Chain A
Amino acid sequence: MAYSFPEEVLEYVFAFLSSHKDRNAVSLVCKSWYEIERWCRRRIFIGNCYAVSPQIVIRRFPEVRAVKIKGKPHFADFNLVPEGWGAYVYPWISAMVRSYPWLEEIKLKRMVVTDESLELLSKSFKNFKVLVLSSCEGFTTDGLASIAANCRNLRELDLRECEVEDLSGHWLSHFPDNFTSLVSLNMSCLGSEVSFSALERLVSRCPNLRTLRLNRAVPVEKLPNLLRRAPQLVEFGTGAYSAENQTDIFSNLVEAFSGCKHLKSLSGFWDVDPAYLPAMYYACTGITSLNLSNATVQSPDLVELIIQCPNLKCLWVLDYIEDAGLKALPSYCKDLQELRVFPSDPYGAEPNVSLTEQGLVTVSAGCPKLQSVLYFCRQMSNAALITIARNRPNLIRFRLCIIDPQAPDYLTLEPLDTGFGAIVEHCKELLRLSMSGLLTDRVFEYIGTHAKKLEMLSIAFAGDSDLGLHNVLSGCESLRKLEIMDCPFGDKALLANAAKLETMRSLWMSSCSVRRCPSSNVEVMDERGHPDSRPETCPVEKLYIYRTVAGPRVDKPNFVWTMDEDAVLRLS
């Protein structure tokens, strides 16, 4: 069969397809398209590092320049995945070193990265440009020193919420004097102090620097010097934002911030002294993203700052903002798209702030573009949820955490089934949902019926029986990731929906009632010993099921067991 277009033309056309889904679809059209596409794919996304092996990836895609890999399941963020579970990046890096010498970008999330991996990558990829590590761990500042010293063309070094063993701050001083290519530096998760003079010189000599997120150890008096050297900054994160009473610091800050005419994003703000917040006002007109989730100041000071940002699209803030502060958003920040309210005292027995469901209701009513919500609070009602759902049918992410597990509707004492039911019914484009509060099997009926676009669902302390899980697995057509903790779901729903599990990236169940599982790639985590060593009626601690073409993994720790095919046949 003759080709309709020469290969070069097809390649040229494929280059316009940036979405992985589109690329994957193209590769399924016919064998020749599969071949052409695989030779010209430059960017790879691997949502689960155990779904495929480095060898398989390299065999299929020989010319990759950028990889993004995710490792541990999401609940690892909340300490539910034991230490030593896996997600080591070293095998990936060592395989890529041999096959992708021109690799430019590595982005990792929830993976274990060692200094050895960082050193290997820094010395092997001559054109390495971008390193983004999100929620990763396993490395020290020595690993960062290798990156700084060896990656001559580095553009981005972005450490987001990583757990780094902080030996000292002098890794930063390893950037050579002739290194000028830096565009983005995010060191906000590091503890120790870097040399300020080294930092200033680095900032001075990198004219393309647009993102600079400092760590807490950089005191506020150092900011003016840094900002003056980088007035082109678009994203800036402060360090500790307070100082002993010195009036010239304030005026220096005002001058420095007003010189930054391109700022769109601000973050940092540890240890805030509210008196220093107004220094930023001149920079606020262009701000679209404000991360105040470290700022322990009270509502009036927070509001004063937020209302200076009429173009605000994304706000992360502590619950110190209170209902009163949230009321200001519709009037001053009409374009708000994303709101995250974090708890200042998640383990306190009593509420320490006056933040209730009302704050969220007000924002939902007055901010027409609101589409993404993460909200921690201590009380909720079905009425409020129904109002929110009706106000904002354009929601695509809704994550609500009512701090008390199984808290009912505080007005009627009923479960919150109808409230969340309204959310899934009205918000037809909902992609991600996290629920909390008192929930019965009914809410899962609603979800199975309405949440057709839902891709990720997180549940805790909810449901009454396997019927709940069955409704989700059989009804949610687009479901890719399901994570469940402390729900009375057992084997039945899993057995009845075994085929569904093949269409999903992963399923996590911990502290549920699952004893045996039908799927072939199931990891059982149990620190008490092999599942067979306990009576059949005893549920497993944790279950992690994911689809894979790589077979059972070879780097399992001693508390993880995988079920093999024989076991599956025997037990079902």
Chain B
Amino acid sequence: MRSTMIDFEKTELRLGLPGAGGGGNEGETSRNSSGKRGFSETVDLKLNLNSNSSDGNQVEDMKQKNIIPASADSAKPPTKAQVVGWPPVRSFRKNILAVQKDTTTTDVNKSGGSHMAFVKVSVDGAPYLRKVDLKIYKSYQQLYDALSKMFSSFTIGNCGSQGLKDFMNESKLIDLLNGSDCVPTYEDKDGDWMLVGDVPWEMFVDSCKRIRIMKGSEAIGLAPRTVQRCKNRC
């Protein structure tokens, strides 16, 4: 049946002004301009994707017109080819509709398989927070190094790089937790505050929503399993 076959007329990209060839938009044909101008004929290019695309003239003309071929989104009616500079809309105003759809569904911090995972990092006593992209680090050690550098200007107790490195060493964990040294904690997807370092790195990146570097004395209540594990070992 004809209706189920791909209508090649519609999918063929045409670079032309409306009414000058009826490119895929039924509503426009009734508004066909009465005076077809010579100018519009020179502009009316047919970019037939099946033909040899190395036709020098067409490429030349296309560059001259700076025309961006319309995206082939089968869900929407085919948009017309866009001419650079038209309509005269500033870049920041261009994607209002798309942005509106995004904001109804996503939380700003959700990484969800994308290539960024920005989380806020707060350090008790520091005047401002920072944000880090967890996906640029491959291990807890790299994260600790980066955080130490970032917050080196306000080391709270032993919150410098040594302090965080010691954290890797579970035998020192009890001392840290008992002392006033600082401890990295994070809020996970469920809203619970956990001790950084328990789960494998990838799992941490996926579940971490924000990081807080607390004073050790406050961190006692967290991740009792870890404390228990240390107690069992030592």
Contacts and interface: CB of A to CB of B under 8 A. Distances in A.
Interface of A: 75, 77-80, 161, 163, 168-170, 173, 189, 192-193, 195, 197-198, 242, 271, 293-294, 296, 318, 342-350, 352, 376, 401, 403-408, 410, 413-415, 434, 438, 440, 458, 460-461, 464, 485-486, 488, 510-511, 527-528, 541
Given A401-B87, A541-B64, A198 B17 contact: no
Contact of A349 (B37, B79, B85): B79
B88 interface: yes
B89 A346 contact: yes
A406 B19 contact: yes
Given A161-B92, A344-B97, A346-B87, 20 more contacts: A78-B86, A79-B84, A173-B128, A195-B127, A271-B103, A294-B96, A296-B96, A296-B100, A345-B96, A346-B93, A348-B97, A350-B27, A352-B97, A376-B89, A404-B18, A405-B86, A460-B85, A510-B85, A511-B66, A528-B60
A544 to B, nearest CB: 14
Interface in B22-37: 25, 27-28, 31-35, 37
A455 B64 CA distance: 29
Nearest to B28: A404
Contact of B87 (A75, A161, A376, A511): A376
B18 A77 contact: no
13 contacts: A173-B128, A195-B129, A197-B127, A198-B128, A346-B87, A346-B94, A401-B88, A434-B88, A461-B86, A464-B39, A511-B65, A511-B66, A541-B64
Interface string B50-89: 0000000000100111100000000011111011111111
A293 B93 contact: yes
The dominant DSSP class at the B interface is loop
Nearest to B32: A413
Contacts of B37: 464, 488
A349 B78 contact: yes
A346 B93 CA distance: 9
Contact of A347 (B40, B63, B82, B90): B82
Going nearest first, the 9 A-B pairs with the smallest beta carbon separation are: A195-B128, A78-B85, A296-B100, A80-B85, A488-B39, A271-B103, A173-B128, A78-B88, A346-B89
Contact of A407 (B18, B63, B96, B131): B18
Given A75-B85, A296-B100, A541-B64, A410 B93 contact: no
B82 A410 contact: no
Contacts of B88: 77-78, 401, 434, 458, 460
B96 A344 contact: yes
Contacts of B138: none
Nearest to A436: B87
Given A407-B18, A510-B85, A528-B63, A161 B90 contact: yes
Contacts of A197: 127-128
Nearest to A527: B63
Contacts of A344: 96-97
B131 A192 contact: yes
A109 to B, nearest CB: 13
Contacts of A404: 18, 28
B232 interface: no
Given A79-B84, A318-B96, A349-B77, A406 B40 contact: yes
Contact of A485 (B28, B43, B85, B127): B85
Nearest to A408: B33
